[in-house]
Every structure is written in C-alpha cells, then in structure tokens.
Structure 1
Amino acid sequence: MTTSDYLTVTALTKYLKRKFDADPYLEKVYLTGEVSNFRARVNSHQYFSLKDDKAKISAVMFKGAYQKLKFTPEEGMKVLVVGRLSLYEASGNYQIYIDHMEPDGVGALYQAYEQLKASLEKEGLFKLTHKQSLVKYPKRIAVITSPSGAVIKDIMTTIQRRYPIAQLVLFPTKVQGDDAAGEIAQRIKEVDAIGNFDTMIVGRGGGSIEDLWSFNTEEVVRAVFEARTPVISSVGHETDTTLTDLVADVRAATPTAAAELAVPVLQEELLKIREKQSRLYHALDNQLKHKRARFEKVSESVIFKQPNRLYEAFYLQLDNLDRRLKQTMSTQLHEKQVKWQKQSERLMVKNPSELIKRRHQEREFLEQNLHRAMYQLISDKKQSLYQTTESLDLLSPLKTMGRGYSYVTKNNHIVKSVSDVKIGDEMILNVSDGQIQAEVKEIESDGKA
C-alpha cells in the first residue's frame, strides 16, 4: 500500500460524524443513567456525563434547553434524557446532545407524551387557525372539574366577583385515575351537545405528570378539538403544559385566570357603558345645537322669507329654453322641408313614367332620323350609281368602237405594237358589229418604238 491509501485522522473523524448524523436511530435517543461530573454553570451550556455501572457517555445540554428544566440536576441523580448522538471532531469522542431531561420515574410517560404530541401536531390539531374566539359577554359557562377540589371554588369566587350575571353550571367529573380520561371526554361532548353554553372551562389543580396524565390522552385532546363551544384549559400550574392546554382555544395558568379570561368585570363594563352613554349624550347634544344653529340661520335666509325668488332664475331659464326650443324646432322644420323638396325633385327626375316617356320620344326621334338618313343614303347611292354608270359608259370600248374604232388580236392576244406581228401573220379585227380576219402584208413603223 502507498501513503495515499491511508486515511488521515480528520478524514476518518468526519466520516464517522456523518455516519452519526445520518443515522435516523441516533437522531432521537431516549437514555437513562446517573449524572456524573456535573458542575452547574450559570447562564451557560452544561457539560457532564451519564453513566451506569458498566459504561459512561459525555453529555452536552445547551443553555436554552437547560433553562427549561423544572429541577436542578445533582451528582449521582438518576435521570431520563431525550437527545441526539453525534461526534465531536476535535476530540473524536461521541456524545449526546440533550434536548430534555427528567428525573427517573416519569420517563415512560414523558416519552408517550412526546410521541402523542408529535403525532397530533403533525395532524394540525394545535394550529392557531383552529382556535375559536371567546364570547365577550357569556350568559352560561360550563365548568368540567372535580366538585370537591379548589378549582371550582376559585372559579365560582372569581366569576361571582367579576361578572355575577353569568350562569355557572358544574359538570362534576374525575380528574385523576384510570377512568378519568373517558369521563372528561364524555363531559366535554355532553356540554357541546347541549349547545346553549357560551364558554367551557376544563380544569384541575397542579400535580405530577402522572396526576395530570388524563389531560394528555388522545381521547380528551380530540374531544376538546372537536368541541364547537370555545374551551378554556386550566390544568396544573403555569409551569405544567398538557396536550389539552395546547389544543384548547385559550390556555389559563390557573383556575382564577381561567375565570378572568372567561368573563369581563361587570362594574368595568357598566362604567364603560355609562362613559359611552355620556359621550353619546354629549355628542347628540352637540349635534342638536349645531343643527339648531343651522336651522335658525337657514330660516332667516331671504329664500324662506321670499320663496318666490327661489324660482325667478328658473323662470328666466325656462323662458330662454322655451325660446331656444321653438327656434331650434323652426330651423329643423325648415331644413327638413328643404330636404324634402330636394328629394321630391330628385324623385320626379327619376320617376319611371317620365323616364319612359322621354325614352319613347327619343326613340321616335331616332327612328325619324334613321328613316331620313336611309332615304338620303339610298338617294345618294342611286345618284352615285347613275354617275358611275355614265362614267363607265363613256369609257366603254363598245362605245368607242361604235364611232369606227376597232382592236386587233392575234392568237387571242391584243396587238399593241408592230413588233407583236410579222408579215404573213393572221389577225382578227374586232369591230362593233363583228370580226374581220386579215393577213399582214406589210409592216410600217413610225420610228417611235
């Protein structure tokens, strides 16, 4: 193996610490043992050990958790602790970080308390959104507690002193023992079923966790949660916190405090009413004085003495509006009449009967022009034909031949020059009344050709 294959102490320690922190079974550990090497440090973290007859473990309790303890740890005291295990890298020692500590003897109950608390909290039973507001002026108050304890006496005395007009109804029940939880839950449901109580107080005096255990049961907690009547919990003393305290709408530290939360002080409320009554009378008197002064001022105004002046401006406005209305109507009527006249004229121009009549006249006029043009054209054509015929007649060869002229052909071709014939050729002389055969005897040229 090379040097690189060896772990450093730091690497190994970090690896083990991650193992400790990642292990879910070491996240929350319930441990029992004797306190050892304990030296109380004022306003500081506490460092000591827990041991039994065969082993010892270092323990740390931070200041915040230590200040919540309801007892003072002592050397050799047997305790029950709840915490998490981790590794302190600087020394390589593993130790327990304590979140809660109790003297031995209540550990099992405390563990059950924490487990049920976590389960109910996960369900949302302790959320503030489920809390109901107390009735400020209750008429009937139900008290669920022992009839023989000091709780009912304190509540009765306090309510009689503060708010004697409230009716207090005791629902006696056991508050300690095996059957207490079922009886408490039944009483809560009974009060809620009656339905005419404004407030419900559930309470008992202080005691150990075993004495208060009935108020940590799921049965009682769910009965309080499901109650439609607002519930005040007064279980134990200020330092004791039960699950019923957590789920109740309001928690009171003592029975007397529960009664004080349930009712106001009647004399104080009466005093507030008298103060508000006095303020109301004073405000009303001021209002009346103010209104009376305004009334007197208004009644002295000119309008009330000469009410017709109130309408003079309206009369003028009405006349003005009437005049404008007539003028506007006249103008609009004239405009409509002009528009109507123009439309009528346009309709007359575009009237089909008139249009057809005009089209008939135009057709007759065009027919007459057509006839005249046709007659004139035929006359012109006749005259042109006559003149053309006359011209053609004047140019006709027959006409010329009638005056003694003729033309000579040879082999059906007209002889135009002496060069077209020779002596001995036979020719035909064409005259007006026939043909003459001839033979060329002599050819004389005039010398022009």
Structure 2
Amino acid sequence: MDNEYLTVTALTQYLKKKFDYDPFLGKVYLTGEISNYRYRGNSHQYFSIKDDNSKISAIMFKSAFAKVKFQPEEGMKVLVTGRISLYERSGSYQIYVNHMEPDGVGQLYQAYEQLKNKLSKEGLFNATKKRLPKYPKRIAVVTSPSGAVIRDIITTTRRRYPIAQIVLYPAVVQGQEAAKSIADQIEQVNHDGNFDTLIIGRGGGSIEDLWPFNEEIVARAIYDSQIPIISSVGHETDTTIADLVADVRAATPTAAAELAVPVLTDEINNINEYYARIVNAFNNSIAIKRQGLNKLNQSYIFKQPERLYEAYLQQLDGLSNNLNTIMKDKINNSNKLLTDYSYRLKINSPMQSLIDARKSVDVNLENIIRSMQTILSDKKGNMQKMVSSLEHLSPLKTMSRGYAYVTSTDSQKVIKKVDEVNNNDEIKLNFIDGSAYAEVKSVDKKEQ
C-alpha cells in the first residue's frame, strides 16, 4: 500500500520533466511589468514579471544580463524571451529569461536615454569645454582606416591647411568591440601626447551602427582626454553621447576638419594685411616723431640754451640775498640774548645760595644727632624696665625658689593634673639645674 505514495522529490522531478519536455514552454514570449527588482552587481538577477491578474518569478543569468543595453527598473514594461521550468528546491515554476527589451520603446533608445540622464547628472555634459587651438601642428584622428571619414578629413585639411600633420589611430567603429577600441585609441593619443587636436568619428548609419559612440566607456574616455576633441559621428540629425561630451561637435567629417584648421591662404592674407597696417602705422608714427623733433630743433632751448637758466640765476641771486639777511638777523639776535643771559647770571650767582645751603645742612645734621641720642637713651631705659619685668615673670625665677615641673618621659608633655598619670607611670621632674626620673606609686586625687 505504501508503494502508491510518491515522495515530494519524486513528484517535483516528474513535474520538472513535464515542463522541460513541453515544446510550447521551451521558448516563451512574455510581456508584462518588472516587479520586485533589485540590481545585483556582477551576479544573476532575480525578479518577477506581472500583469493586472498574475505574476511569475523570473531569473536572468549574468551572461544573458550582460547583453542587456538598458537598465531595468521597477514597474518598467518589458518584452522577455525565455523558457519555463520548475525550481525543484521550492517546487515553484519560473521563467529563465534569455532576452529582454523595453516594450513600446526600442532597447537602444532606452539605453541611450538612461546613460544620457546618468552622465548629465554627473556633469559630463556641462563641464568646461577645452578651446581648439587656432593653428594646430599635429592632429590625431580616431576612426576606421578604410572608411571615407579619414579620406574626407585628409582632403579637407590638405586643401585648407596643408602644413598640419594628420596622424591616424585606426579603430573599430562598429560592432561589439568598437567601443573599447575607440576608448583605447583615445587614451593612446593622450598617452603619446604632442597633439593639438583629436578628431573622432565615423559615417552615418542606424542607431545600431552608431551605438559604440553611445557607450559609457567612450564617453568617459572623451571626458578624461587632455586634448581637445571634435566629435563627428553620423549626420547632422544624429546626436550621440560622444557628441554631447566632446569639446566641439561637427555635423560631418569635413566639417570637423574645417573646425580643426583655418584656411592657410586666408591666414597668409591676414598676415600680409596686418603687416601692411603695421608698416603704415610705424611710418606714420615716425613721421609724427620727426615733426616733433624738427619743432624741438627750432626751439630756443637748443639755439640759445643759456636762456633756459637765466630766470633760475636771477632767482638764485634773490634767494642768496635773502639768506644773507636772515643769517645776519639771527646772529644779531643771538648776540643780544647772550649778553642778556650773562648779565642775569652775574646778578643771580649761585655761590651765595650754595654757602647758605651748606650752613643749613650743618645745623640740621647737629639737630639729627641730638635727636638720635635722646631716642636711643629712651629706648635703653625702656628695655631695662622690660627685662626686669620679664625676670619677675620667668619660670626660672620660680624654679630657683625650689619649684619643679613634671613631664611625661615618652612624649615630653607637661603634666598639669593628676588625671594625666596612673600608677607605675614613669615621669620626669625638671629642676632649674637638671632633671630626675621617678615612678608613680599611687595617685591621690582631691575631691571636688
């Protein structure tokens, strides 16, 4: 009877074979909205496809997801292709997605808009554009070596500015390897250095043909370039990510060459015109200077140079006379002051004042000596009285009459009361001429 029951594993394996062998489930075309999507970097992607009534789990392995040109988002309506099978561990069926693209909008256009928004937020389009040098010596061109782009650029450059050197950096401009090839060559041009301008481009084509110039790796290589870049991709109506990041955009390769170099004959004509204008301006300046020189030569300064300083000589004489007069007046005034001060000094001679002051000092000195002697005598008398008073109060005076004071033998503390000693305590008796040690035999306290 037990043989009639299947294990869960056996049932699940049976159902999985049903899914795998069903020809209608081997390749399923499904449309719906992405749900429960969370991007997992460099890993398999797990999400759901749902419509208004139902939902199916989906898995897209990283090898298949790497071919997706846009970034899936929650709620995005998509078209997916894959097979239906059963996941044995959970017993749930799911779709294994091999291909996915937006529903209603082309996959490449969706990827273009997503990358455009991403780079715009990072500021790659609004960064300060580098200026093209007006007279480039060496121009690097990153394009296909066999296309018409390089021929148009060379032809236009040779016609307009043949002294510029064109260096081709061949790159694949179409297909899956094109984006990396273009980015590598841009980096190589910057690494080689010694270039004034860099042109990247290819001819027109569909969005698929132009797609390498919409890849992020190319956009970042253009942004990181230290050399000014002219982008010439497709036709005037086609705008790629490379056009938006580049320093200058040209509608065609011919236009790119025209932007990169001036017309040599026009520049030579401009130089000749500037030269003629400089010569004329220089000749006019010389003529004006010569007229000024002739006018100066006719001046009295050169014909009668002594007239130049006649007025200064007269002014010098006047100033000399004024100086002499002022010095004489100052000397006379100084002599008068000196005579006046000498007379006043004789009248107010300090000698008598000095004699009077010396007498006053002698008198004051005698008064000070007498005062000091009186004060000293008074101080001695007071000191003798105080010494006599101290002798009367001195404990030595009392001890000389037969008194002594008692101290503890260990702490040397003076014992004042009978409460401070006990039987058998050793005490010290201090006399005027020495001390004696004793032992307490008994304590007899007065009654209060």
TM-score normalised by the shorter chain: which range applies? 0.5 to 0.7
Alignment partner, residue 72 of structure 2: none
- 1:113 CA displacement: 1.1
What is the match of residue 249 of structure 1? 247
2:312 corresponds to: 314
Pick closer, same or farther for the CA change 1:139–1:346 going to 2, 3 Å.
Answer: farther
2:186 to 177, 185, 188: 188
Q: In structure 1, what is the Cα distance between the partners aligned to 2:141 and 2:169?
A: 6
Query: Which is worse superposed, 103-112 or 281-290?
Result: 103-112
Match of residue 268 from structure 1: 266
Q: Cα deviation per residue 1:143-166 (whole Å; 9 max; x = unaligned)?
A: 111111111111111111111111
Say whether 1:139 aligns with 2:137.
yes
Task: Return the alpha-carbon distance in structure 2 between the equivalents of residues 168 and 274 of structure 1.
Answer: 27
1:331 Cα deviation after fit:
4.7
Q: What's the CA shift string for 1:278-298, capped at 9, x where partnerless?
A: 011111111111111111111
Shift of 1:337: 6.1
Shift of 1:308: 1.4
Give distance in 1, aligned partners of 2:108 and 2:348.
Answer: 113
Give ranges in structure 2 of 5+ residues lacking alignment. 1-33, 35-50, 53-101, 362-448
Specify whether residues 350 and 268 from structure 1 end up closer, same or farther in structure 2 by C-alpha distance, changes over 3 A only.
Answer: farther
Q: Pick from 290, 293, 300 the counterpart of residue 292 of structure 1.
A: 290
Q: After superposing the two structures, state which structure 1 stretch, 109-118 or 325-334, moved more.
A: 325-334
Question: Cα offset for 1:343?
Answer: 7.2
Match of 2:107 in 1: 108
Give deviations 1:73-127, integer Å, cap 9, x for gaps: xxxxxxxxxxxxxxxxxxxxxxxxxxxxxx9897111111111111111111111
The C-alpha deviation readout for 1:301-342, integer Å capped at 9, x for no partner, is 111111111121222233333334444444555566666777
Would the alpha carbon gap of residues 347 and 253 (structure 1) be closer, same or farther in structure 2, given more than 3 Å must change? farther
Q: Verify: 1:220 aligned to 2:222, yes or no.
A: no
Would the alpha carbon gap of residues 214 and 359 (structure 1) be closer, same or farther in structure 2, given more than 3 Å must change? same
CA 1:284–1:357: 2 relative to 1, 3 Å:
same
Q: Name the SS for the 1:136 alignment partner.
A: coil
Distance 1:269 1:359, change over 3 A: same
Note if 1:160 corresponds to 2:158: yes
User: How many residues of Structure 1 are paired with residues of Structure 2 in the alignment?
Assistant: 266
Unaligned ranges ≥5, structure 1: 1-24, 26-53, 56-102, 364-449
**1:75 corresponds to:** none
Q: How does 1:1-400 map to 2 (within 5 A)?
A: 107-129=106-128, 131-331=129-329, 353-357=351-355
Q: Indicate conservation of the 8 Å contact 1:303/1:309, yes or no.
A: yes
For residues 192 and 323 of structure 2, the distance between their equivalents in structure 1, rounded to whole angstroms, comes to 77
Q: State the distance in 2 between where 1:299 and 1:154 align.
A: 66
1:10-53: CA deviation from partner (whole Å, max 9, x where unpaired):
xxxxxxxxxxxxxxx9xxxxxxxxxxxxxxxxxxxxxxxxxxxx
Q: Give the whole-Å Cα distance in 2 for the aligned partners of 1:339 and 1:119.
A: 99
SS of the counterpart of 2:257? helix
- SS in structure 2 at match of 1:210: helix
Secondary structure of 2:309 counterpart:
helix
Aligned to 1:79: none
Q: What is the CA-CA distance between 1:351 and the residue it aligns to? A: 7.0
What's the CA shift for 1:356? 2.6
TM-score by length of structure 2 reads 0.54
What do residues 387-408 of structure 1 show as CA deviations (whole Å, max 9, x unaligned)?
Answer: xxxxxxxxxxxxxxxxxxxxxx
Q: Structure 2 vs 1, CA of residues 116 and 316 (structure 1 numbering), >3 Å: closer, same or farther?
A: same
2:110 corresponds to which letter in structure 1?
Answer: Q
Tell me, in whole angstroms, the C-alpha distance in 2 between the residues paired with 1:193 and 1:348.
103
**3-state secondary structure, aligned to 1:323:** helix
Going from structure 1 to structure 2, the CA distance change for 1:210 and 1:297 (only over 3 Å counts) comes to: same
Distance in 1 between residues matched to 2:336 and 2:118, nearest whole Å = 95
After superposition, the Cα gap between the structure-2 partners of 1:273 and 1:106, relative to the gap in structure 1 and judged at 3 Å, is: farther
Relative to structure 1, the CA distance from residue 340 to residue 255 in structure 2 (aligned partners, 3 Å threshold; closer, same or farther) is farther
Mapped partners of 2:343, 2:113: distance in 1: 106
Instruction: State the percentage of identical aligned residues.
Output: 57
Give the counterpart letter for 2:166 in structure 1: L
SS in 2 for 1:122: helix
CA distance in 2, matches of 1:204, 1:340: 109
How far apart, in 1, do the equivalents of 2:110 and 2:343 lie? 111
Q: 1:354 to 1:254 in 2, by over 3 A?
A: farther
Whole-angstrom distance in 2 between the partners of 1:110 and 1:308: 94
Partner of 1:385: none
TM-score by length of structure 1 reads: 0.53
SS in 1 for 2:305: coil
**How many angstroms apart in 2 are the aligned matches of 1:138 and 1:216?**
28
Specify the code of the residue in structure 1 equivalent to 2:244. Answer: L
